[in-house]
């Protein structure tokens, strides 16, 4: 059993590019349907409820094919890269 006092490392594997592609495609689908992608993704990431993601253009199925942890990691990576951190 791991020592809970130690920092754990979370690694994102080869799914990184897939997560990026799915986020972008889903964002486009949500905008086309008139939804705010930021609000929808936040709702999905916090609750795990796939109903926040439109099924238009198979966006919901695509988003559910990636673990929420991996989607969140991709968003954090993008933010940190953008801000050169």
> Could you read off the pLDDT of 27-75 as tens digits, one per residue?
999 999 999 999 999 999 999 999 999 999 999 999 999 999 999 999 9
Placement of tokens 């198979």 in the chain: 58
* Predicted structure pTM score: 0.77
Q: What angle do CA 67, 68, 69 make, to 5 degrees?
A: 90
């Amino acid at each position: 059993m791991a020592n809970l006092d130690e920092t754990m490392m979370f690694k994102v594997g080869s799914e990184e590019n897939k997560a990026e592609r799915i986020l972008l495609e889903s964002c486009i689908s949500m905008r086309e349907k008139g939804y705010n992608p930021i609000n929808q993704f936040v709702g999905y990431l916090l609750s795990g409820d796939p109903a926040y993601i439109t099924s238009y253009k198979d966006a919901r199925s695509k988003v559910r094919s990636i673990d929420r942890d991996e989607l969140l990691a991709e968003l954090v990576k993008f933010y940190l890269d953008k801000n050169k951190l």
